[in-house]
A and B are shown apart, each in its own frame.
Chain A
Amino acid sequence: EAAVTQSPRNKVAVTGGKVTLSCNQTNNHNNMYWYRQDTGHGLRLIHYSYGAGSTEKGDIPDGYKASRPSQENFSLILELATPSQTSVYFCASGKTGTGHAEQFFGPGTRLTVL
């Protein structure tokens, strides 16, 4: 029943390694988002997408790539992981249009880069 799912839920990576975080939504929303959450910073937008095939840079895109192969799936890719990317990552989906800004979040992925 969960409308937004993420995998993996926990990940330990080594510095310089490649990490892919996956997100799937069954809300049929056009928009999808990747955020990271660190203490004192709230939710910071990394990349977002307004439909299959599109990706846009958010506020902190450096060191991250994104891929939206379908309406349902949105991935976040760390080509060369660094310890500064240790964080909790949330995926979200949302509708398009004024008055439809509510976002629905997945359960999060805790990433540790050693």
Chain B
Amino acid sequence: QQKVQQSPESLIVPEGAMTSLNCTFSDSASQYFAWYRQHSGKAPKALMSIFSNGEKEEGRFTIHLNKASLHFSLHIRDSQPSDSALYLCAVSAGGYKVVFGSGTRLLVSP
């Protein structure tokens, strides 16, 4: 059964800093890797996804995927207070199921 773990559990960074969030998974056949963001009291919403090894950048957000290491990460450049949220990584090996990590709670202090 797929195991997905995130680190750190929580993080406080100053406004303008680079934020790095990590996710490890156990199934080497996984094909879909994503980050979801959940603001307090709201629904999770997909932020970015990647399917093949390497890097993908969208604005201030970058995903790195290394399938051989069973690891992917999210980097937020120039972190803003509005980025404060719970970040969930998600992994799927195909089919219907997506397994979510337990989350990293990010606080960006002004």
Contact = CB atoms under 8 A, between A and B. Distances in A.
Interface of A: 31, 35, 40-43, 45, 48, 50, 56, 58-59, 90, 94, 96, 98-99, 101-108
B96 A107 contact: no
Contacts of B99: 45
A102 B96 CA distance: 10
Interface string B87-110: 010101010111111110000000
A52 to B, nearest CB: 15
A42 B102 contact: yes
Given A42-B88, A99-B51, A105 B44 contact: yes
A31 B6 CA distance: 26
Interface of B: 1, 6, 31-32, 34, 42-46, 49, 51, 88, 90, 92, 94, 96-103
B27 to A, nearest CB: 13
A42 B46 contact: no
Contacts of B44: 43, 90, 105
Given A40-B102, A42-B103, A90-B44, 18 more contacts: A35-B100, A42-B101, A42-B102, A43-B44, A43-B100, A45-B97, A50-B96, A56-B96, A98-B32, A99-B31, A99-B51, A101-B31, A101-B49, A101-B94, A102-B34, A103-B46, A105-B45, A106-B43
